Structure 1
């Protein structure tokens, strides 16, 4: 196989890209009723905010702890007094969240076409491996690279460099695949290419000077988008 024919390495963000973080909605609906979606959105926003703040402060805790503290904040924000058992159930949901419908067929096709696939996450390696296995998509990945291994969070440029080292790839030959704009801009700023997965029609990408290399609405469109970019 010539160098030109070698498929690039793909680094897949996990939470929100492969795995649907709103998989907690069923549990939330039984606990908070019609506030479930707002609660879920606020929880996710604070989870990410806490990881950003921890990264900037260089005051690392595992992503699971950011998730737990964000849950506590969200309960206080909505003045909802969940029991310790209810909070435990919600945190347990984060260990077994479902994959989006397009994920399994897309990963299967990409793997068959010769791409090297890695899961690349702020989550701990154990948590990510459990998620991927539960969603029945673990078999598609060559490995899992976690920010926990160097005690930082995306979009710290250090984590993208660490990914390249762990995957034995180069920035010019590596794509980040993410639905999170902060992750896309972080990867491109670090020298990688990046595909933004625009999972909702109303999603807005940050109006920065850094924009996605490609945009797809469905992971099953990724291969054709990557090919067009190369061409």
Structure 2
């Protein structure tokens, strides 16, 4: 039986810091703070919507996060500025290791690669296509199909049920500890892509089954 590698998208394959060049032009020295708080609020709103049973597309969580941080930091972005930032968010670049690592995985007959994301299928398809890595995925599994967000157990159950494999035959590949803890709780194996040596893992979630510094190290260890 083949093993499924389910790749998180935002922050794992796609670099969410790719927005920073455009932010620099708009908010200057506040860029690092603005970028991090925007990402944090995007995820917070997804978590809250999932708990409330008030699902909205991930892009709405992203826009709401942008609106909040603009108010909180008093950056006074115009509607045109916000629209332009949201458009760029739909064209974020892949990490430099993604294409090479995925191409190497494509040579294995024992591995199935899927993208698994909080983003809508349409948004993820567009991101992966413009980044030149869509061809390496058998499928895109989006949480919109169950209208819950990671780390709700329902989304991980949906992942392995839709792919018709047991939970233990799926490895989640992610740089986001909250995602990994959720997947491990749901019975999946997990690999942490620890892109920064300073990045901590949550102390209460148990250790990942595997930790690597980038996607190429992942391929080296599993093929």
Say which SS state the counterpart of residue 118 (structure 1) adopts. Answer: strand
1:28-43 → structure 2 map (5 Å cutoff): 28-43=23-38
Aligned match of 2:180: 184
1:89 corresponds, among 63, 84, 91, to 84
1:154 matched residue in structure 2: 150
Tell whether 2:13 aligns with 1:18.
Answer: yes
Aligned pairs (5 A) from 1:42-121:
42-114=37-109, 115-121=111-117
User: Partner residue of 2:162?
Assistant: 166
Tell me, what secondary structure is at the counterpart of 1:194? strand
What is the CA–CA distance in structure 1 between the aligned matches of 2:71 and 2:197, rounded to whole Å? 31
Distance 1:224 1:144, change over 3 A: same
Secondary structure, aligned partner of 1:113: coil
With normalisation by structure 1, the TM-score equals: 0.94
Cα-to-partner distance string for 1:81-139 (whole Å, 9 max, x where unaligned): 00000000000011100000010000010111232100000000000000000100000
**Does residue 128 of structure 2 align to residue 142 of structure 1?**
no
Structure 1, gaps ≥5 residues long: none
Q: How far 1:224 moved relative to its partner? A: 3.5
In 2, Cα distance between equivalents of 1:72 and 1:192? 35
Q: Give the secondary-structure state (helix, strand or coil) at the position aligned to 2:34.
A: helix
CA distance in 2, matches of 1:89, 1:62: 19
Partner of 1:116, secondary structure, is strand
Q: In structure 2, how many angstroms separate the alpha carbons of the residues matched to 1:126 and 1:191? A: 28
Give yes or no for contact 2:181–2:205 (8 Å, CA) kept in 1. no
Query: In the alignment, what sits opposite 1:9?
Result: 4
Deviating more after overlay: 153-162 vs 166-175: 166-175
Q: Distance in 2 between matches of 1:60 and 1:216?
A: 33
Q: What is the distance in 2 between the residues matched to 1:176 and 1:209?
A: 15
8 Å CA contact retained: 1:189, 1:210: no
TM-score (normalised: structure 2): 0.97
Displacement of 1:226 after TM fit?
3.5
Q: CA deviation at 1:209?
A: 4.5
8 Å CA contact 1:214–1:225 kept in 2: the answer is no
Shifted more, 161-170 versus 74-83: the winner is 161-170
RMSD: 1.0
